Structure 1
Amino acid sequence: MNRRLAAAVDVATRSGMAVRLATGSRTLYDRITEGLTAWVAAGRRDDLTGYRAALGPLLRLALLGALAYGAYRTARAAPWLMWFAAGAWALAAWRAAAPAEESVEGPADTPDEASAEAPVEAAVALLREVLGDRPAVHLSEVLAHLQKHGQGEGWKVADLRVRLEALGIPVDPRVKVGKVPTRGVRGADLNARFPTEETCPSPTQVDAA
């Protein structure tokens, strides 16, 4: 019996480690892609028009391509370096999937009010506050709002995305705000998933339908 129990614990431990590495790898991948996407998009010149405005992003894409090709050539010339790269990635992924000590909560007037709200309700209230009357908002703006109120310290956009999706809040990967498409939340999606009294159809509308 003790051997079976030990074997079960060992299997569960390995499974948990694999899940953590997989989750961390996804989070790390999202962080890198979102960071590179934002960096490339930031090269666009709003004071220029036509192809000249897009020269900045094109040059940055070319630089990324050159770096990727250089990494490929280095790996072909010295394959043993891949062991170090794999180890570094696994360590970064493990750290990226560290258990969260904080939950997504919207800024509240008092700690008692914040603790009284469920995490989903608090997150939805936060998003509606940041959205205002706009149709959509980037997660980077939501994160900046959180950190301005002393929450989410050390978080990246990918960390916020993972927490929102875990709460069932729809996150769109291509929300365009200010000509920059990236991850964000649309008001229409939020209201469809979490309807309010204003967004719920009236009994008359239901009967008419």
Structure 2
Amino acid sequence: MKRRLAWWAARSSIADRLARGSHTVWERRVDALTAWVRAGRRTDLDGWRAALGPLVRLVLLGALAYAVWAVVRAVPWLLWLLAGWWIRAAWRASRASPAEGVEDSSEQAAHALHVTVLRQLLLDLMGTGSGVHLRTVLAHLQEHGQWEGRTVTDLRVHLERLDIPVDRGVKVGRTPTWGVRRRDLEAPSPVEPQETSTAPSTAA
């Protein structure tokens, strides 16, 4: 009986881990493809000409999806290779998931940033604007040797864990995507009341 319970517990743990990893892989792929399609928009053009780039890239993605479907239909055993690749990617992604409590060196370096310092960094990147895209923040961090190999989804999850508001409709340069708004960022930080409340006792 104990062996059977242990077997079911291990099976449930593996299933949960694969489910979390699959969700992470799916979000990373969607964010990457979305960013790639949006990057095709011409900022020096207006109207339908500016939208030609994203439309062409959408057509290419559709053609690629159809080609993969046609190949798998012609050679069904390739589906097993795709399934194996997905399971491997999901398993690896779950190891870096915050739910597992396992962090790689780049994530540990990012967590070392104090919330106040990170908020100020976001404000600096905004400049005089009303918001900043997460892909801009990620590019800045990677230029300074941090968050190498990470994605916008990883950064979004990290900011949410630090109680920094993020939104997928932040518009900068006519392009709405995941980002941080100034009005949300300039609101009092959840850390500040705790620090002010402990200041009198420290002084005493």
Shift of 1:104: 6.4
Cα deviation per residue 1:50-80 (whole Å; 9 max; x = unaligned)?
2222222111111111111222222333332
Deviating more after overlay: 54-63 vs 74-83: 74-83
Cα pair distance change 1:55/1:27, threshold 3 Å: same
2:55 to 58, 76, 81: 58
Q: Does 1:42 align with 2:39?
A: yes
Q: Does 1:194 align with 2:189?
A: yes
Q: Distance between the aligned counterparts of 1:156 and 1:133, measured in 2?
A: 26
Letter in 2 for 1:68: A
Cα pair distance change 1:38/1:93, threshold 3 Å: same
Cα pair distance change 1:21/1:105, threshold 3 Å: same
Query: Any unmatched runs of 5+ in structure 1?
Result: 107-113, 198-209
The 5 A counterparts of 1:39-188 are 39-98=36-95, 99-101=102-104, 102-103=107-108, 105=110, 117=114, 120-188=115-183
Aligned alpha-carbon RMSD (Å): 2.9
Cα deviation per residue 1:97-139 (whole Å; 9 max; x = unaligned)?
3232334648xxxxxxx58x4xx45544443443344321111
Shift of 1:30: 1.8
Cα pair distance change 1:134/1:19, threshold 3 Å: farther
Give the TM-score taking structure 2 as reference length. Answer: 0.74
Identity across matched positions, percent: 54
Number of aligned residues: 184
Cα deviation per residue 1:82-104 (whole Å; 9 max; x = unaligned)?
22111101111222232323346
Give the TM-score taking structure 1 as reference length. Answer: 0.72
Shift of 1:11: 4.4
Is this contact kept in 1: 2:110–2:147, CA < 8 A?
Answer: no
Q: What SS class does the counterpart of residue 97 from structure 1 fall into?
A: helix
2:202 is aligned to: none
Shift of 1:29: 1.5
Q: Distance between the aligned counterparts of 1:23 and 1:90, measured in 2?
A: 11
Q: Distance between the aligned counterparts of 2:5 and 2:118, measured in 1?
A: 37
Is this contact kept in 2: 1:169–1:193, CA < 8 A?
Answer: no
Q: What SS class does the counterpart of residue 40 from structure 1 fall into?
A: helix
Is this contact kept in 2: 1:105–1:126, CA < 8 A?
Answer: no
Q: What SS class does the counterpart of residue 169 from structure 2 fall into?
A: strand
1:27 to 24, 32, 47: 24
Q: What SS class does the counterpart of residue 184 from structure 1 fall into?
A: strand
Query: Any unmatched runs of 5+ in structure 2?
Result: 96-101, 193-204
Cα pair distance change 1:7/1:165, threshold 3 Å: farther
Shift of 1:195: 6.5
Shift of 1:28: 1.5
Q: Distance between the aligned counterparts of 1:104 and 1:132, measured in 2?
A: 25
2:200 is aligned to: none
Shift of 1:162: 2.1
